[in-house]
Amino acid sequence: MTAEELWDLSGIPGEYDAWAFGDDADGLAELVRSGKKRATSSAYPVYEAEDEELPTPGEYSVILNEKDEAVCIIRTRFVTVLPYREITEEMAAKEGEGDLSLAYWQQVHQPFFTEELKAIGKDFSEDMKVVFEEFALVFPKCGEAPAKQQKSGALYIVRHGRTDWNDQKRLQGQTDIPLNDTGRAMAKEAGERYADIPFDICFSSPLCRAKETAELLLQGRDVPIRFDDRLKEMTFGEYEGVAQSFSIPNCPVNEFFFHPAEYTEAVPGGENVNELLGRTGSFYKEEVVPLLREGKNVLIVGHGAMNLSFICNVWELPTEDFWRTGIENCKLLRLL
């Protein structure tokens, strides 16, 4: 089966890349298909030498075997760049190879990286940067044979443009702060950059910085915009407006940023992480999923923490990984 044929079977809309693992393509592809392999490592200097872009969270890849036959489809979740020496036991286990130990990972990867680097005139060292990409198997599911799936819509999310409070590093929460000139320019530029993506409907937070971003991004396009309170930013209660909270000793709201899974008791007037995940999760199931099943392409315009909680719900991520994806102002991320 070709990559194009498997992609058509999956019913996933949009674009994809197709590639095989550089060493033991058949064996590693099978580990991915079985669900055992959930990550892969690459030498960062090779990306630099070939002027190649790093993998991006949300993008899809068709994994090929040695005969260039399609085996399965994955979606990138997280991309981390770090020195070879900082790869941990937990990271090595996610690669699903051998006995899952760090020692085995090093035994296999050091000679592989050495040969790759030699081809571009560089030497291996433990300070060499590694691109560690974590992914999820999306088609076919573990143990299932590929079967034709009904076409579904695509889901995109974007964070509002910059505001004065962003620049001042103040907690905005649900305080209704407007875009500044930089934020408006960002939203207009995003509209031009993503003009070719066929959105059918947009849902936005009603807070003015998100509302204006949606309107500027979709300016001149016949795309309806609907507003829903469940897409508002997380509320930080009496701490909204506080600047540089990380520099404040024992500031209780910082628990959310450092240990999100443990932020189960909100600051006065605020909400905790489970309340945030609950409201964005209900919105996704009640409003978005039915439209995706109809084949509609949906755009969500929201906020930093709200968007990440939405991603956790869609990608079924543990709360511990709340902040790992990251989402820049006015940069579109495809979730499905």
Half-sphere exposure of 161 (CA within 13 A, CB side): 23
In sequence order, what are the residues at sequence separation of 6 or more whose Cβ sits closer than 8 angstroms to the Cβ of residue 208? 176, 177, 178, 179
- 39-43: strand order across its sheet: 17-19, 60-64, 70-83, 129-139, 39-43
Q: Which residues sit opposite 63 in a β-bridge?
A: 19, 72
H-state helical runs in the chain: 3-10, 25-33, 44-49, 89-94, 102-119, 164-167, 181-193, 208-217, 254-258, 273-283, 289-293, 304-315
**Where do we find the tokens 């829903």?**
228
Token digits for 73?
């489809």
Instruction: Name which of 9, 309, 22, 301 is nearest 149 in CA terms.
Output: 9
* Pairing relationship of beta strands 298-302 and 201-204 according to DSSP bridges: parallel
Which residues participate in catalysis according to the annotation? 160, 233
